[in-house]
């Protein structure tokens, strides 16, 4: 990998922002960024609500936070500075936004911009890295990986994924024990819907809950495979007749053979992605109508990506290390790169961090390899287990109070004084 470099700036401030859906460990990355920058004597500003905060000149002075508060970010879920779903258009389509960002950067002497997000955020960081020279301002932009979907190219895994994978594997195991105990006279089929619009990584993680034909989950539905109603119903029926009950884990992005989402709601989010209305109730209705089984379904939704109490130790460590590496790359003069995780060994699991060009990551999706999905399309292979298993290992303990609840931190988020006109006018 050959990252772009420029002469290292000797002075200036660093701007950090969070983007897209947050995770159980994105704040660990923020802690890594701030602590690494403080050690180098660099002032860190944070944009309130992602790139929108930069456009609106709504910046937060992280120097007003104590060392203890920043350290506590390592175990606090959510997005400490606020996030957003907002995709910059091209320079040709909306030059005014780019000119405004450079105006804000210039007003606050921001020489390094770190954008912590997924695919669309990598695209934003790449675009910004390219316009500094065009608009006459020296700025280095680093994309910082984060997504529970685990669909970023190049990197072995994405910070945030290991923890949601652990939560889903645990939830599948525990819920299945519940169903098994009640199946004689109650629920026969349990359906768990998980996140993952186009890539089935989270659904695949449920497969870690058990191994063998009688162990839950008995069926996993991946976005990579077209939904086959006949095969689905036949497998559910056979499982109930053999085992007495059946657990199904379905990605929200499951599609029919014609490419339509089973759960399409007909609306779109701010990135232009189709809003999904819930695949679990669609599947549950099929089970009831065609097979007559009593069912239950669950939609963990935000719970799966915010469950810091069940975070993976590996994931938390990687998220923090990624933040520190991003600062190192920025201060070395790199531009248009992202720190990525490189796996050197499965057992024992070993990994390092290296810079990769944003051009190889932005607007690309990493889906499940074919050899990770069993031939029948309903399970994960040994190769998938080798890849997934290390990512959920270890616990990342929380401090608890006398009330039995975790002690999460809420930052003061002191605003930086504005110097510019309101945008847009």
In a domain, 400, yes or no: no
Lowest mean pLDDT among 14-18, 34-38, 92-96, 272-276: 272-276
What is the spatial distance between Cα 211 and Cα 379, in angstroms, rounded to a whole number?
A: 10
Structure confidence at residue 265 (pLDDT): 46
Is the pLDDT at 270 greater than 50, yes or no? no
The predicted structure's pLDDT at residue 425 = 62
- 17 & 137 share domain: yes
Pair (189, 270) in one structural domain: yes
pLDDT attached to residue 267:
40
The answer to whether residue 289 is domain-embedded is yes
Q: Supply the pLDDT for residue 10.
A: 55
Residue 410 lies in a domain: no
In the residue annotation, 425 being an active-site residue is answered as no
Count of domains for the chain: 2
- In this structure, are 207 and 338 located in the same domain? no
pLDDT given for residue 106 in this prediction: 96
Report CA-CA distances (Å) from 333 to 27, 109, 362, 420: 24, 16, 20, 28
Instruction: Judge whether 343 and 312 are in contact, CB under 8 Å.
Output: no
Residues 94 and 194 in one domain: no
Residue 394 resides in a domain? no
* pLDDT value of residue 88: 87
Q: What is the pLDDT of residues 218-259, one digit of tens each?
A: 999 999 999 999 999 999 999 999 999 999 999 999 998 888
Q: What is the pTM of this model?
A: 0.93
Q: What mean pLDDT do residues 93-116 have?
A: 95
Q: Do 19 and 59 sit in the same domain of this protein?
A: yes
Is 153 a domain residue?
A: no
Residue 237 sits in the same domain as residue 259:
yes
* CATH at 243: 3.40.50.460
Q: Is residue 97 over pLDDT 70?
A: yes
Same domain, 302 and 165: yes
Domain assignment present for residue 175? The answer is yes
Evaluate whether 75 touches 396 at the Cβ level (below 8 Å): yes
Quick one: pLDDT at residue 278?
87
Confidence of residue 268 (pLDDT cuts 50, 70, 90): very low
Q: Are 291 and 323 in the same domain?
A: no
Mean pLDDT of 28-55: 98
CA distance 306 to 326: 23
- Of the pLDDT bands very low, low, confident and very high (cuts 50, 70, 90), residue 260 is confident
Annotated catalytic residue within 120, 123, 149, 156: 149
The Cα–Cα gap between 138 and 6 comes to 9
Give the structural domain span for 108: 4-147+310-364
* Burial bucket for residue 45 (CB in 10 Å: 0-12, 13-18, 19+): buried
350-396 residue pLDDT tens? 999 999 999 999 989 999 999 999 999 999 999 999 999 999 999 99
Q: How high is the mean pLDDT of the chain?
A: 93
258 in a structural domain: yes
What does the alpha-carbon distance between residue 292 and residue 183 come to, in Å, rounded to a whole number? 14
Same domain, 261 and 335: no
pLDDT at 271: 45
CATH number for the domain harbouring residue 86: 3.40.50.450
- Give every CB contact of residue 330 below 8 A, 6+ residues apart in sequence: 14, 112, 114, 140, 142
Does the structure show a pLDDT above 90 at 130?
Answer: no
Domain final residue, candidates 321, 344, 364:
364
Q: Is the pLDDT reported for residue 275 higher than 80?
A: no
Looking at the structure, do residues 77 and 178 belong to the same domain, yes or no?
no
* Percent of the chain predicted with pLDDT > 70: 94
- Asked if residue 63 is part of any domain, the answer here is yes
- Per residue in 176-219, pLDDT (tens digit) is 999 999 999 999 999 999 998 889 999 999 999 999 889 999 99
Strand order in the sheet with 295-298: 219-221, 246-251, 189-194, 295-298
Q: Binning pLDDT at 50, 70 and 90, where does residue 3 land?
A: low
Are 67 and 102 members of one domain? yes
| Helices 26-39 and 313-331, axial angle in degrees (round to 10) | 40
302 and 352 together in one domain: no
């Amino acid at each position: 990998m050959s990252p772009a470099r420029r002469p290292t700036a000797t002075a200036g401030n660093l701007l950090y922002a969070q983007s897209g859906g947050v995770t159980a460990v994105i704040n660990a990355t923020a802690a890594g960024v701030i602590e690494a920058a403080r050690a180098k004597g660099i002032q860190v500003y944070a944009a309130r609500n992602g790139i929108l905060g930069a456009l609106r000149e709504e910046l937060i002075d992280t120097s007003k936070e104590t060392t203890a508060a920043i350290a506590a970010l390592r175990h606090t879920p959510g997005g400490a500075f606020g996030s957003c779903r907002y995709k910059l258009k091209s320079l040709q389509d909306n030059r005014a936004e780019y000119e405004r960002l450079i105006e804000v950067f210039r007003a606050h002497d921001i020489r390094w911009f770190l954008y912590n997000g997924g695919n669309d955020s990598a695209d934003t960081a790449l675009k910004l890295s390219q316009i500094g020279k065009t608009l006459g301002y020296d700025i280095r932009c680093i994309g910082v990986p984060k997504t529970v979907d685990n669909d970023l190219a190049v990197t072995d895994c994405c910070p945030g994924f290991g923890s949601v994978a652990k939560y889903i594997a645990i939830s599948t195991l525990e819920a299945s024990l519940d169903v098994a105990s009640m199946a004689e006279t109650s629920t026969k089929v349990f359906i768990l819907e998980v996140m993952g619009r186009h890539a089935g990584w989270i659904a695949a993680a449920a497969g870690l809950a058990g191994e063998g034909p009688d162990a839950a989950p008995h069926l996993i539905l991946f976005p990579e495979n077209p939904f086959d109603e006949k095969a689905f119903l036949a497998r559910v029926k056979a499982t109930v007749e053999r085992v007495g009950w059946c657990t199904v884990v379905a990605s929200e992005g499951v599609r029919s053979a014609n490419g339509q989402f089973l759960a399409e709601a007909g609306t779109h989010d701010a990135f232009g992605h189709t809003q999904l209305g819930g695949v679990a109730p669609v599947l549950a209705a099929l089970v009831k109508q065609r097979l007559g089984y009593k069912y239950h379904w669950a939609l963990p939704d935000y719970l799966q990506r915010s469950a810091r109490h069940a975070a993976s130790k590996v994931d938390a460590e990687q998220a923090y290390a990624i933040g520190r590496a991003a600062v190192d790359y920025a201060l070395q003069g790199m531009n248009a790169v992202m720190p990525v995780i490189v796996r050197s060994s499965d057992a024992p699991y070993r990994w390092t961090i290296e810079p990769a060009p944003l051009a190889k990551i932005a607007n690309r999706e990493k889906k499940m390899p074919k050899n990770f999905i069993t031939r029948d399309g309903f399970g994960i292979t040994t190769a998938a287990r080798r890849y997934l298993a290390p990512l959920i290992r270890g616990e990342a303990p929380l401090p608890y109070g006398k009330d039995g609840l975790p002690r999460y931190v809420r930052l003061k988020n002191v605003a930086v004084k504005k110097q510019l006109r309101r945008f847009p006018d």
